[in-house]
């Protein structure tokens, strides 16, 4: 008999374990840092139980952000830089994982797998690139082999490609985690993540997965952050101090909301490739608001985030007693959340901690969960969404 390759044997052993320790990694479009969630899983699919054992966000140093920004969401990027960053981000993320495990006093041998999102550097659904003969496409870098070899831990990465191969746009993958962890028959729930881009999952209480909707909505923090960087030399509008010192310009807000993306049917995805300061400048030109002061601009962009989210919910989601559970860094933006509450007075808005999900850790938990599914799950059919198991395996040896 031909002996089983050691890697496959190890994979088989991990998949068979009744409970698994997995690390989920998320490095989002805000480029603020690496989210590392150490989770314990038992079961899979709708029987998944998870516990968040440890969580940390390790902020990225300014020079690293600058390096990534040189290629991030840019149509013309230096190919050598992309290539170098692909390897560098893999090894850098591995170093950050080892540092976190050291801090938590946890041995690498006690971790069964790492599930790594990588760093999105370009997201190009067909609606954006508009090349008839090219499919939806997206690119995450920070290669999984580097993480596996440097940490000695089985690594699963590059989750989005399978989603695209099976007919999706590669996002939002939150769908799968939100259904498995956030669904409750009898309760109309919206799980709203306000990261760089805002997305939501609508989980109607009737419990019929055919009616679940998961989609990007538009900008979350990305425009607010970009304006803060450009005009205030700050990474973001901490506690909405700038937004509260300005006023909303109704004409600019109307021009921003007139963007064609908002008229496209959900599910749909987007990114800073579309929602960037060029798009804002165009709306300012159209509305004759090019001269507004910087505080008013940040205030209007914050209102834009809240109004586009509320508008989407009003148009696409119906039901009584809707509970909205927020997560992502934008859940800590009081201006945005305050506007949302004003615009959606009927909804009950709270952050996802009331579901037992740390709002800052939610996306990193999602990838850990997708890793668990890749190891021992089965494809789940949720409406028209691809029913696939995602992720590529990298072995340490
Ligand atoms: N106290 C705060 N006040 C206002 N905004 C905040 C605060 N804390 C965090 N944020 C916002 O949250 C952002 C980080 O959000 P998050 O970490 O969810 O983004 P991400 O994971 O990169 O996004 P994405 O989900 O799009 O990939 C910051 O850049 C900032 O805009
Ligand atoms: C291509 C990409 O990286 N998309 C991210 C981004 O950040 C938020 C939104 O846009 C979402 O669609 C997605 O991430 C989350 C984790 C998702 O796939 O659900």
Q: Which of 117, 219, 221 to mutate to test the pocket of ligand 1 (most atoms within 8 A of CB)?
A: 221
pLDDT attached to residue 13: 97
Known binding residues for ATP are 28-35
**Ligand 2 center from residue 327 Cα (angstroms):** 13
pLDDT attached to residue 207: 85
Average pLDDT, the chain: 97
Please check whether the two domains, 6-171+361-394 and 174-355, share a CATH topology. Answer: yes
Mean pLDDT of 5-27: 97
pLDDT band at 332 (very low <50, low <70, confident <90, very high): very high
Q: Under CATH, what is the fold of the domain 6-171+361-394?
A: Nucleotidyltransferase; domain 5 (3.30.420)
pLDDT attached to residue 152: 98
**Ligand 1 center from residue 330 Cα (angstroms):** 5
**Ligand 2 center from residue 271 Cα (angstroms):** 8
pLDDT above 90: residue 106:
yes
pLDDT above 90: residue 179:
yes
**Ligand 1 center from residue 31 Cα (angstroms):** 9
pLDDT above 90: residue 54:
yes
pLDDT attached to residue 1: 80
Backbone angles phi, psi at 19, to 5 degrees: -135, 145
**Ligand 1 center from residue 20 Cα (angstroms):** 29
Smallest CA separation from ligand 1 atom 20, residue: 28
Q: Tell me whether residue 203 is exposed, middle or buried, using C-beta atoms within 10 angstroms of its C-beta: 0 to 12, 13 to 18, 19 or more.
A: buried
Smallest CA separation from ligand 1 atom 10, residue: 329
pLDDT band at 102 (very low <50, low <70, confident <90, very high): very high
pLDDT above 90: residue 66:
yes
Task: Write down the domain spans for the chain.
Answer: 6-171+361-394, 174-355
Residues 233-282 have pLDDT tens digits of 999 999 999 999 999 999 999 999 999 999 999 999 999 999 999 999 99
Known binding residues are 28-35
Closest CA to 289 of 245, 252, 247: 252
The CA-based diameter of the chain, rounded to the nearest angstrom, is: 77
Is the CB of residue 329 below 6 angstroms from any atom belonging to ligand 1? yes
Mean pLDDT of 43-61: 97
User: 174-355 domain in CATH 3.30.420.40?
Assistant: yes
pLDDT above 90: residue 4:
no
Residues 123-138 have pLDDT tens digits of 999 999 999 999 999 9
363 neighbors 52 (Cβ within 8 angstroms): no
Smallest CA separation from ligand 1 atom 4, residue: 333
- Taking the C-alpha atoms of 315, 354, 215 and 123 in order, what is their torsion angle to the nearest 10 degrees? 140
């Amino acid at each position: 008999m031909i002996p089983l390759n050691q890697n496959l044997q190890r994979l088989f052993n991990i998949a068979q374990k009744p409970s698994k320790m997995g690390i989920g990694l998320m490095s989002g479009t805000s480029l603020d840092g690496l989210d590392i969630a150490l989770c314990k899983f038992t079961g899979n699919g709708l029987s998944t139980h998870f516990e968040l054992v440890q969580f940390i966000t390790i902020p990225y140093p300014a020079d690293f952000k600058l390096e990534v920004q040189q290629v991030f969401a840019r149509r013309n990027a230096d190919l050598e830089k992309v290539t170098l960053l692909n390897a560098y981000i893999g090894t850098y993320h591995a170093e950050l994982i080892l540092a976190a495990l050291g801090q938590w006093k946890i041995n690498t041998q006690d971790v069964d797998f790492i599930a790594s999102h990588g760093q999105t550097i370009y997201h190009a659904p067909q609606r954006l690139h508009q090349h008839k003969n090219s499919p939806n496409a997206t690119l995450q870098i920070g290669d999984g082999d580097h993480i596996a070899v440097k940490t000695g831990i089985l690594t699963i990465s590059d989750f989005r490609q399978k989603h695209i191969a099976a007919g999706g746009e590669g996002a939002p993958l939150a769908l799968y985690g939100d259904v498995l962890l956030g669904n409750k028959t009898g309760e109309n729930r919206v799980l709203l993540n306000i990261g760089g881009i805002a997305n939501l999952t609508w989980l109607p209480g009737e419990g019929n997965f055919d009616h679940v909707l998961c989609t990007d909505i538009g900008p979350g923090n990305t425009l607010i952050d970009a304006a803060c960087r450009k005009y205030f030399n700050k990474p973001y509008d901490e506690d909405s101090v700038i937004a509260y010192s300005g006023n909303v310009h109704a004409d600019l807000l109307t021009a921003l909301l007139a963007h064609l993306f908002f008229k496209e049917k959900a599910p749909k995805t987007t990114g800073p490739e579309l929602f960037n300061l060029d798009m804002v400048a165009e709306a300012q030109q159209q509305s004759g608001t090019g001269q507004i002061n910087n505080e008013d601009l940040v205030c209007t962009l914050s209102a834009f985030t809240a109004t586009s989210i509320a508008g989407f919910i009003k148009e696409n989601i119906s039901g009584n007693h809707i509970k909205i559970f927020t997560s992502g860094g934008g859940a800590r933006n009081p201006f945005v959340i305050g506007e949302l509450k004003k615009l959606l007075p009927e909804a009950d808005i709270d952050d996802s901690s009331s579901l037992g999900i740390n709002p800052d850790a939610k996306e990193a938990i999602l990838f850990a969960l997708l890793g668990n599914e890749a190891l021992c799950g089965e494809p789940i059919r949720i409406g028209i969404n691809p029913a696939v198991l995602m992720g590529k395996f990298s072995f340490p040896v």
